Amino acid sequence: MVLITRRGVLRAGIAATGMAPLAAIDGFAQSAPAAESTASPQPAHGLAMHGTPLYPADFTSYRSVNADAPRRGRLTQGTVGTFDSLNPFIVRGTPPPFIRWNVVESLMARCPDEAFTVYGLLARSIETDDARSYVAFELDPAARFSDGAPVTPADVLFSFELLRSRGRPNLRTYYGKVASAEAVGSRGVRFRFGEEDRELPLILALMPILAQHATDPAHFEETSFRAPLGSGPYVVSQVKPGESVVLDRAPDYWGRDLPVNRGLYNFDSLRYDFYRDVNGLFEAFKRGLYDIRFETDPGRWTTGYDIPARRQGRIVLEEIATEVPKPYSALVFNMRRPVFADARVRAAMVELFDFEWINQNLYFGAYTRTGSFYEGSELSARGRPADARERELLAPFTEAVLPAVMDGSWQPPVSDGSGRDRARLRRALELFEAAGWTLTGGEMVRRSDGTPFRPELVVGTKDQERLALAYQHMVRRAGVALEIRLVDNVQFEARKQSYDYDMVPYIWDQSLSPGNEQAFYFGSAAADTPGTRNFMGLRSPAADAMIRALLVARRREDFASAVRALDRVLISAGFSLPLFHTPTQWLARWTEVARPGRPALSGTLAESWWAAG
């Protein structure tokens, strides 16, 4: 038996797996594992976060795919930026995101048609009890890495321990909640949990599985242009550092005909090209250098595609509805910096942002203002009074939620659209005054010592710079000397990961089943850990408690109340200037590629496309 505990691999485990012991991780709570139910759980084909899976055990494909799509051709995609590593599981470097799912698989696959449900992939079954105090998987005997080696329980346990001790902070946080892990028989793996967290069985189901025989733990945290050996449908075939990556279909891919893969991964080859800026990326699309483009700029969407290829019907523009929360796009205030430690200063900066003017004059009126971190879904607190369960959860934290946020009347500031709204300016100056700043000689200065208020906004693209410059002009009316710093992609990511900024743009993407990642985004423990998405440095006992509540909720209605309560805490904390979102997914595609008619919850997915004609 291979056994892994919180303190690392025991001697029996080391001998069985043949791996050198990894450094033990300190700091995990030493509570006993949650008691297992006396019921007799049975292995199942899938597991839903709440309720039961949508698809039965004998399902053949997802409803948002074309199960009969032809498998041929190449799909080329483009993106702004660069990369200096192909390892997406470590803090160092800037890896491309597509390695994770195309090359390295998980025990199970997340269904694109449900809030959060997993079905068999490397593991053909999953088992847990009513308390979800453990989860067990049985590996598919056909599962193989791309070099032909079988996927074994030893690989699963190796991956768990390696990522728990040397992976990205979110992986360490998730896997740190596991009390022990062991191999069961020749194909089984069981994880027991040290605390109640009903999402953990699904988190473990999505753990990336690395090949023990092809992974060197001693050098795992080093950046490399050699991709991890995985079991996925593609392998990396060509790499031009910083410029392009080509993936080719893995020879004899073991999972080709699984229900979770039918209609997906239809191209024989995937090419990803990297461009220096958004203008170069757009021009490349118009020239046909890549196939699909998810547009985010209303100006380009409204007028930029009036080119011969579209008039000839070779480029198609589509607006696709989505059912997931809209992305929360914002300018984030770094509360670790003294300049933004005071909530009144942050609120003043929000008051000075004239969305109505910007939307009309820069973006053709096409954007919708964002206010909630779960905008446009049942999980959003915006415009909704707190229900009884929310009030119960928030009762110990009376100062954490603003009254207007609690009763549902809060909205982001609305201007008259003139770009010179005096009421908004007056309110901002009042807030600055209350926080100890005053407007003197046209300059905002600290009243106590005359220090000028000159925060810096770091941006990484020309589009971000364009918005920043408009905002810079707006805050100048209040004497704020906002400095704009445009840096290249590598420096931008490095500064974000190390929290080296006063303000920075960011977009939090949410699902219909927010879970453990919320602690990575908003938890107090993430505030001082490099590489998290707690870019503002939020330390809120109320947010921590709401995250805990959503993780242990058994019923969907209790879960939704906990998420809405968290939303109220985050809105009230005022650590960001909420921006805007597109009402639908804007898609431009060359007609050489086709997509399913029915989108997934999050819109159309590139992995479900195929070569047309």
Mean pLDDT of all residues in 192-213:
95
Quote the pLDDT of residue 39: 57
Quote the pLDDT of residue 387: 98
Phi, psi of 305 (to 5 degrees): -100, 15
Give dist(CA 381, CA 546) in Å, integer. Answer: 13
Quote the pLDDT of residue 613: 77
Fold of 328-581: Dipeptide-binding Protein; domain 3 (3.10.105)
Q: Which of 11-20, 170-179, 598-607 has the highest mean pLDDT?
A: 598-607
Instruction: Please identify which residue in the block is written with the tokens 């550092």.
Output: 241
Residues 338-367 have pLDDT tens digits of 999 999 999 999 999 999 999 999 999 999
Q: Tokens in use for 176?
A: 């740190």
List the domain boundaries for the chain. Answer: 3-219, 328-581
Residue 157 pLDDT exceeds 50: yes
Q: Sorting pLDDT into bands at 50, 70 and 90, what band is 112? A: very high
Q: Tokens in use for 328?
A: 């929360």
Quote the pLDDT of residue 34: 42
For β-strands 74-80 and 269-275, DSSP reports them as parallel
Quote the pLDDT of residue 546: 98
Q: Sorting pLDDT into bands at 50, 70 and 90, what band is 97? A: confident
Is residue 49 within 8 A of residue 199, CB to CB? The reply is yes
Q: Classify 208 as helix, strand or coil.
A: strand
Quote the pLDDT of residue 527: 96
Q: What letters, b where the CB count within 10 A reaches 16 and e where it falls short, cover 351-366?
A: bbbbbbbbbeeebeeb
Residues 418-470 have pLDDT tens digits of 999 999 999 999 999 999 999 999 999 999 999 999 999 999 988 899 999 99
Quote the pLDDT of residue 27: 29
Q: Sorting pLDDT into bands at 50, 70 and 90, what band is 21? A: very low
Quote the pLDDT of residue 25: 28
Instruction: Please identify which residue in the block is written with the tokens 């694109």.
Output: 112
Helix (H) or strand (E) holding 362: helix 355-362
Residue 571, Cβ density class (10 Å: 0-12 exposed, 13-18 middle, ≥19 buried) = buried
Residue 587 pLDDT exceeds 90: yes
Q: How far apart are the first and last CA of the chain?
A: 53
Fold of 3-219: D-Maltodextrin-Binding Protein; domain 2 (3.40.190)
Quote the pLDDT of residue 328: 97
Mean pLDDT of all residues in 577-591:
96
Residue 246 pLDDT exceeds 60: yes
Average pLDDT of the residues of the chain: 92
Residue 70 pLDDT exceeds 90: yes
Nearest-CA neighbor of 236 among 122, 146, 108, 144? 146
Residues 188-198 have pLDDT tens digits of 999 999 888 89
Q: Sorting pLDDT into bands at 50, 70 and 90, what band is 61? A: very high
Quote the pLDDT of residue 38: 53
Residue 230 pLDDT exceeds 80: yes
Give dist(CA 493, CA 514) in Å, integer. Answer: 24
Q: Tokens in use for 520?
A: 């990575």
Quote the pLDDT of residue 4: 45
Quote the pLDDT of residue 14: 27
Residues 505-530 have pLDDT tens digits of 999 999 999 998 999 999 999 998 98
Quote the pLDDT of residue 234: 98
Is residue 151 within 8 A of residue 122, CB to CB? The reply is yes
Residue 18 pLDDT exceeds 80: no
Give dist(CA 560, CA 378) in Å, integer. Answer: 7
Q: Which residues contact 32 (CB under 8 A, 6 or more apart)?
A: 179, 194
